[in-house]
Amino acid sequence: MGTGEFDVIEHLRARFPLVGDDSAVVQVPDGHLVLAADAVVEGVDFVPGCPVADIGYRAVLVNASDVAAMGGRPLHVLLTIVAPPGTDLLGLIDGAADGARVHGCEIAGGDLSGTTGPLVVSVAITGVVEGGAPVLRSGARPGDGVFVTGRLGAAAAAEYRLQAAWHPKARVAEGIAARRAGATAMIDVSDGFLADLGHVLDASGVGVRLDRVPAAPGATQEQALGGGDDYELIFTLPPAAVAPPGAMRVGTITGDPAERPVGVGGWQHHFT
């Protein structure tokens, strides 16, 4: 097993059948429950001195985006804070509460612990997929169109990953609209467009022919392709489907898994 984040995830996917998408999917009597968890860590996801409200907001955002990538709606958040002395806990919680409000969910509990190390904020989130099945990464088929919900690269241009000063909104409504339009696969752009699209291609066993990817104002094409933290959605639609308003087509799925662009940037954690 390799030491990169994606290598470890592949190992976990082989070991635990429910692992594999942005959120875990659990079937319940009334539909599908989606579960996700993510953490933001000082020195990795943001530099010391970032406003704590921004950090709290981001911790909720990244999890709400994982629910959105399944075509689901966020429900409840569990917020865990591991904080060194002097941390403005109430300010951080205010930021998390704002993130929950913006994304239509509610903080329901969590845990609080102290540390002499860096600040860590971890969120576990529940969501629900209503009126249909969740959209997985593995459903893209040759001939499907590839779409994004917005222009990319703004976070990279603003160096958001460390500053935590970028306040996008998880594309919950757009994810639901894509699912209802018949999306066959979907993922959020957290690690970079090409890296995240690559997860869809790998899971679906397909390739892609890309057109020009729309870059955000002030962002280069390289930042649009390789930058992360945009939290737009990538999804695929069958040829006969009508894309939701605002979605932009950026390519076509092919049957050759080797047909894909060479990666530009992208983000993953390494454990060496």
The pLDDT assigned to 267 comes to 45
Q: Where are the alpha helices (DSSP H) in 205-248?
A: 221-226
Which residue type is seen at 160? Y
pLDDT at 144: 98
The answer to whether 208 touches 252, Cβ cutoff 8 Å, is yes
Model pLDDT, residue 20: 58
- At residue 266 the predicted structure's pLDDT band, cuts being 50, 70 and 90, is very low
Q: Is the pLDDT of residue 104 over 90?
A: yes
CB atoms within 10 A of CB 27: 10
Annotate 69-120 with DSSP letters as a single string: TTT-EEEEEEEEEEE-TT--HHHHHHHHHHHHHHTT-EEEEEEEEE-SS--E
CATH superfamily of 5-129: PurM-like, N-terminal domain (3.30.1330.10)
* Cα 67 from Cα 90, distance rounded (Å): 26
Q: Which pLDDT score is estimated for 26? A: 79
> Picking from 15-29, 123-137, 226-240, which range would have the lowest pLDDT averaged per residue?
15-29
Share of the chain above pLDDT 90, in %: 72
pLDDT at 185 over 70: yes
Q: Is the pLDDT of residue 196 over 80?
A: yes
pLDDT (average), residues 213-236:
94
Q: Are 150 and 230 in contact (CB under 8 A)?
A: yes
Say whether pLDDT at 262 is over 80. Answer: no
**Ranges of each domain in the chain:** 5-129, 145-254
pLDDT tens track for 9-25:
566 666 766 665 557 88
What is the model's pTM?
A: 0.88
Mean pLDDT of 205-223: 94
User: What is the arithmetic mean of pLDDT over 200-208?
Assistant: 96
Answer CATH for 145-254 from 3.30.200.20, 3.90.650.10, 1.10.390.10, 1.10.3720.10:
3.90.650.10
Judged by average pLDDT, the poorest of 57-66, 94-103, 214-223, 256-265 is 256-265
Tokens 């958001």 -> residue: 160
- Tens of pLDDT along 10-69? 666 667 666 655 578 877 777 789 999 999 999 888 888 889 999 999 999 999 999 999
Average pLDDT score over residue span 140-149: 98
